[in-house]
């Protein structure tokens, strides 16, 4: 009976698992697709040596079309060897679904993938990584979504992994410097104070390969760095636990005082605005209080109550309610100005 196996090759030339080796050995045909990720030159020979099988190297179109693979897998065992973990790419997931629908048995053999290995290699706590961002050549000039996700992650104190696209067929890709420049460009547009030349980041190149390289520092110095051949990824840490600071310092051989999280300076909208509006409203209130007749006392009292509420909500992280309250307090006061009751100097 036929079977279609998706076998992960992990990260280096020898990242295939023993289970993966057995699966390739038992397959009638082994296809290998490695065009979207640069690979070690000796990958092919390593697979041949370990499995006794010579993989048929195919391109992305062949896998996306998939018809030949699916037809063959109906009658015999076909294995598709894929760099990293085999089901990370949507293309392979879709091929698997088509196989299942045709009644072909499928099997998935996992291996290391950059998403977890990068976290693991960085010395940062894996569970503190939030959404990963892929930076493509198309997106790098306008990193709106990446900037938004990074902002969210940093606000939560979480770390962000940026995977930088590289296409081995065209030989074009995104360098760490490109990605950092793209984020600084987005910063110029959105001005949320998410990144600057001083943002502390980690660059990991060729993770899991013999020629792996790593660097850590500020955007400014990293942008001038030479990282050699792709693949590269960039990690932008959120808030650091002291054991993370210690680990990054040891692993990247830099002083602990040079290891910095990026969450401290980044504030939520309400954290920036509520204190500003409270102080402004309090000042305005003080300036009109003595000029208002007793009928306006309830207005003043309520404005004060809602300012206090705003501060309490903010302290509890209930940002929307804090903004509602301070808006309400301002509105109460401003209404008197609009109605000509009193002139308010904001």
Q: Which positions from 142 through 201 interact with a second copy, judged by CB under 8 A?
A: 152, 156, 158
224 binds a second copy (CB under 8 A): no
Give yes or no for a contact between 203 and 176, defined as CB atoms under 8 angstroms apart.
Answer: yes
Q: State whether the Cα torsion 128-134-135-139 is positive or negative.
A: negative
Minimum CB distance to a second copy smaller for 26 or for 197:
26
Which of the stretches 124-132, 194-202, 229-237, 259-267 binds a second copy when contact is defined by CB under 8 A? 124-132
Binding string to a second copy for residues 321 to 340, with x set by CB under 8 A, is what? x-xxxxxxxxxxxxxx-xxx
Minimum CB distance to a second copy smaller for 132 or for 168:
132
269 binds a second copy (CB under 8 A): yes
Minimum CB distance to a second copy smaller for 9 or for 177:
9
Which residue reads 């949507």 in tokens? 90
**Least distance (Å) between residue 299 CB and a second copy:** 5
Q: Which two tokens stand for residue 86?
A: 């085999």
**Least distance (Å) between residue 197 CB and a second copy:** 27
Tell which one of 251, 254, 305, 344 touches a second copy (CB under 8 A).
251
- Dihedrals phi, psi of 261, to nearest 5 degrees: -80, 170
Who's near 102: CB < 8 A, 6+ residues apart?
70, 74
Distance CA 246, CA 234 (A): 19
Minimum CB distance to a second copy smaller for 177 or for 314:
314
Tell which one of 31, 34, 35, 129 touches a second copy (CB under 8 A).
129
Minimum CB distance to a second copy smaller for 219 or for 306:
306
Give yes or no for a contact between 258 and 307, defined as CB atoms under 8 angstroms apart.
Answer: no
Nearest to 88 by CA among 65, 126, 115, 128: 115
Minimum CB distance to a second copy smaller for 62 or for 328:
328
Q: Which positions from 29 through 48 interact with a second copy, judged by CB under 8 A?
A: 46
130 binds a second copy (CB under 8 A): yes
Give yes or no for a contact between 167 and 37, defined as CB atoms under 8 angstroms apart.
Answer: no
Could you give the 3-state DSSP secondary structure of residue 56?
A: strand
């Amino acid at each position: 009976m036929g079977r279609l196996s998706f076998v992960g090759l992990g990260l280096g030339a020898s990242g295939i698992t023993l289970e993966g080796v057995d699966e390739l050995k038992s397959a009638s045909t082994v296809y290998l697709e490695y065009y979207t990720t640069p690979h070690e030159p000796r990958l092919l020979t390593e697979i041949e040596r370990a499995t006794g099988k010579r993989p048929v190297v195919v391109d992305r179109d062949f896998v996306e079309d998939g018809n030949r693979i699916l037809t063959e897998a109906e009658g015999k065992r076909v294995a598709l060897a894929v760099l990293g973990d085999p089901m990370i790419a949507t293309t392979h997931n879709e091929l698997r679904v088509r196989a299942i629908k045709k009644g072909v048995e499928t099997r998935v053999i996992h291996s290391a993938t950059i998403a977890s290995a990068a976290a693991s290699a960085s010395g940062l706590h894996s569970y503190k990584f939030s959404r990963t961002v892929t930076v493509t050549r198309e997106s790098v000039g306008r990193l709106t979504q990446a900037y938004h996700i990074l902002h969210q992650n940093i606000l939560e104190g979480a770390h962000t992994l940026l995977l930088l696209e590289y296409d081995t067929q065209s030989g074009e890709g995104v360098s760490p410097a490109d990605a950092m420049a793209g984020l600084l460009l987005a910063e110029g547009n959105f001005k949320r104070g998410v990144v600057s030349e001083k943002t502390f980041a980690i660059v990991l190149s060729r993770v899991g390969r013999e020629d792996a390289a790593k660097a850590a520092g500020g955007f400014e110095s990293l942008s001038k760095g030479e990282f050699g051949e792709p693949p590269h990824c960039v990690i932008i840490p959120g808030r650091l636990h002291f054991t993370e600071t210690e680990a990054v310092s040891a692993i990247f051989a830099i002083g602990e005082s040079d290891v910095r999280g990026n969450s401290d300076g980044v504030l939520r909208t309400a954290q920036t605005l509520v204190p500003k509006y409270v102080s402004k409203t309090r000042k305005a209130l003080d300036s009109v209080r003595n000029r208002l007749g007793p009928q306006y006392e309830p207005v003043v009292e309520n404005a004060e109550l809602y300012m206090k509420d705003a501060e309490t909500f903010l302290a509890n992280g209930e940002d929307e309610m804090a903004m509602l309250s301070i808006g309400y307090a301002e509105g109460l006061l401003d209404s008197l100005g609009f109605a000509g009751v009193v002139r308010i100097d904001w």
